[in-house]
Amino acid sequence: MSDAGCDQALLLQAEFDGELDAAQSAALAVHRAGCDICRANWDTLEAARAALNESDLYHRATPALRQALGARLDASETVAPRRAARTWWRPALGLGAGIGAAAAALVMLLVIPPADDALLGALVDAHVRALQPGHLADVVSTDQHTVKPWFDGKLDFAPPVKDLAAQGFPLIGGRLDYLGGRAVAALDYQHGKHPIDLMIWPDRGADATPNSARHNGYNLIHWTQDGMSLWAVSDVERDQLEAFVHDWQRAP
């Protein structure tokens, strides 16, 4: 298979995959401006991605597999771990009481139950809607002290606003959104070229550690902290979204 007649094809693909740094990207842009083959190749890259995104091709581990795996890992241990069925998921995992102690480290274990599918869909829709040109932020500011007061009088609660620029997730603004029958705060962060949305609304429940989910190619992480329910939504890799949540939870 040829490179379709342009020696920059793989570089173009690297740009498409977000693998180029700013200088490489700029150098490529000069070439691309006058290259019809690059234009066609870019269409090919987008067509392949669109085709993959249209179909639900991701295969998830079944609860049965989780259970079988738990049993098998137990059997590999010399000492059978004691079970403490304090929560619904622990017996299913069968990995023993040690997990409870390691709960702090065990951040992303839980998978959001399918009953929340409608909410996941609504969150992703809101995120995608916001990505349309000019819709991302109603208040554009990298200053948390500008963004936070902007919500005053627009919501019946005061959302926590934090800037994570130092951690590589700069705040770029905020907006109002409407989810599950109520107005919510949406904070916009940036990571590389990827926008991250953080939707916030009040939740009287106890603090809950993050759960992750995936919907239509987007990653979502939900947690509860200080009386707020928080949802991070983005097309960044899950590792990076986990890092974002980790940093957000710990930021002052």
Query: Which residues in this chain contact other proteins in the complex, by CB under 8 A?
Result: 1, 3-4, 9-10, 13-14, 17, 19, 44-45, 47-49, 51-52, 54-55, 57-62, 64-66, 68-69, 72-73, 76-77, 79, 81, 93, 95-96, 98-99, 101-102, 105-109, 111, 212, 214, 235-239
Task: Indicate the DSSP class of residue 164.
Answer: B
The nearer residue to other proteins, 76 or 132, going by C-beta atoms, is 76
The nearer residue to other proteins, 112 or 158, going by C-beta atoms, is 112
What's the closest the beta carbon of residue 32 comes to other proteins, in angstroms? 16
What's the closest the beta carbon of residue 231 comes to other proteins, in angstroms? 18
Strands 208-215 and 139-140 turn out to be unpaired
The nearer residue to other proteins, 107 or 155, going by C-beta atoms, is 107
What's the closest the beta carbon of residue 48 comes to other proteins, in angstroms? 4
d(CA 22, CA 169): 17
The nearer residue to other proteins, 100 or 227, going by C-beta atoms, is 100
What's the closest the beta carbon of residue 60 comes to other proteins, in angstroms? 5
Q: Which residues pair with 185 in a beta bridge?
A: 176, 200
What's the closest the beta carbon of residue 152 comes to other proteins, in angstroms? 37
The nearer residue to other proteins, 1 or 206, going by C-beta atoms, is 1
The nearer residue to other proteins, 69 or 119, going by C-beta atoms, is 69
Please, are residues 70 and 46 in contact by the beta-carbon 8 Å criterion? no
Task: Indicate the DSSP class of residue 33.
Answer: H
What does 64-77 look like in DSSP terms, one character per residue? HHHHHHHHHHHHHS
Q: Which residues pair with 177 in a beta bridge?
A: 184
Query: Where would I find the beta strands (DSSP E) of 96-239?
Result: 139-140, 171-179, 182-191, 194-202, 208-215, 218-225, 228-234
What's the closest the beta carbon of residue 93 comes to other proteins, in angstroms? 7
168: left (phi over 0), alpha (psi -120 to 50) or beta: left
